[in-house]
Chain A
Amino acid sequence: MQLQRHLAEFEEAGVAVYALSYDASETLAAFAEEFGITYPLLSDAGSEVIRRYGILNTLVRPDEAVYGIPYPGAYLTDEAGAVTEKSFYRQYRIRPATRSLLKDGFGVPLTPESGPVAESSAPGVRVTAALGEEALVFQQRVPLYVRFDLDPGLHIYAPDAGGGMLGTTVEVHAPEGIEIGSPAFPTAHPFRIEGAAESLPVLDGTVEIAVPLISTRAEVEPVMLDIRLRYQACDDRQCFLPQEQTLTLQVPLQGLNRARPRS
């Protein structure tokens, strides 16, 4: 399981991990054994905690076998136990992926070794695209990170910069069954080019853009992503040529792990 693979990173970051479900502890024991799970899988048989938290799925009728399930989600807490972030999704199967939780939830940087990476460069600019996880897991939200490393003094423009400047765009093209969300850009800051009348929103230094991806493909053969970039790097006096680049990233797919009932 994904979380288990990254458990050491959570521990190193000083984050305790707990997973709760309404399963009996015997079911959880079988699941833990089959998938080698060592973090606590906690049995809320009777759904007392689920009810107390107010997240019992009341769309399930009490006479149904699965009555007692929660709306699935995750809470992050600080050292004092206060919620700092939570994520609940309407589509119950779409869960935030583990490494992205570490990065976005706890501010723990990803170790760059894992996951596929593609690169390109232009004068003063290096671009890398990396999947936030080793693979796209079925119906799990996995971010694709597109990172611009700009030489000091250079900037690129926010998507809607205006002023006749080329706004940065990141477009991901994928085969059917890969849903692509809107790219999330970091906050731009205003910058005025020498002699220009108005300041424009720019990005500089390391600019990381996250594009959420969700796989709904049943097949598990790797897929190719085309990541099309348009940007123009400038300093305070001049601009390099506008760039149009396509990075190609091969991304492994992974099905869901399910516990099999004990025979």
Chain B
Amino acid sequence: MTQESEPTPTEPPPTQRNPTDDQFPTGPEVGDTLPDFTLTDQYGHAVNFRESRGNRRALVLFHRSARW
């Protein structure tokens, strides 16, 4: 008789990924010009922040990942 083993976890092991206090970097400060960037979007097009924004205001979100 073999004892069935536990299924292998597919999630990465939990590591400390959250800051434990508020002393973590949050990038450009209020009043700073948000640094420009050119990146590829989901349609495969290059998007330049400054050009595409034009004279509009912007909401720029940084996510961890769309996968998890």
Give A residues with C-beta under 8 Å from B: 3, 10, 13-23, 25, 27-29, 31-33, 37, 40-44, 49-50, 52-55, 57, 59-61, 64-66, 69-86, 88, 90-92, 101, 105-106, 258-259, 261
Contact = CB atoms under 8 A, between A and B. Distances in A.
A73 to B, nearest CB: 6
Contacts of B4: none
Contact of B12 (A41, A64, A91): A64
29 contacts: A17-B58, A18-B47, A18-B58, A18-B60, A18-B61, A20-B63, A21-B66, A23-B67, A31-B42, A40-B41, A41-B66, A54-B28, A55-B62, A61-B15, A69-B17, A70-B62, A70-B64, A72-B63, A74-B59, A77-B58, A82-B32, A85-B30, A86-B27, A88-B24, A90-B21, A92-B64, A106-B59, A258-B68, A261-B67
Given A17-B59, A44-B39, A60-B17, A81 B50 contact: yes
B60 A77 contact: yes
A98 B57 CA distance: 16
Interface of B, secondary structure class, is: loop
A137 to B, nearest CB: 14
Nearest to B32: A83
Contacts of B68: 66, 258
Closest 8 CB pairs of A and B: A42-B39, A32-B42, A31-B66, A53-B27, A88-B26, A21-B63, A40-B41, A28-B42
Contacts of A57: 17
A55 B63 CA distance: 11
Nearest to B43: A29
A259 B18 CA distance: 22
A64 B12 CA distance: 9
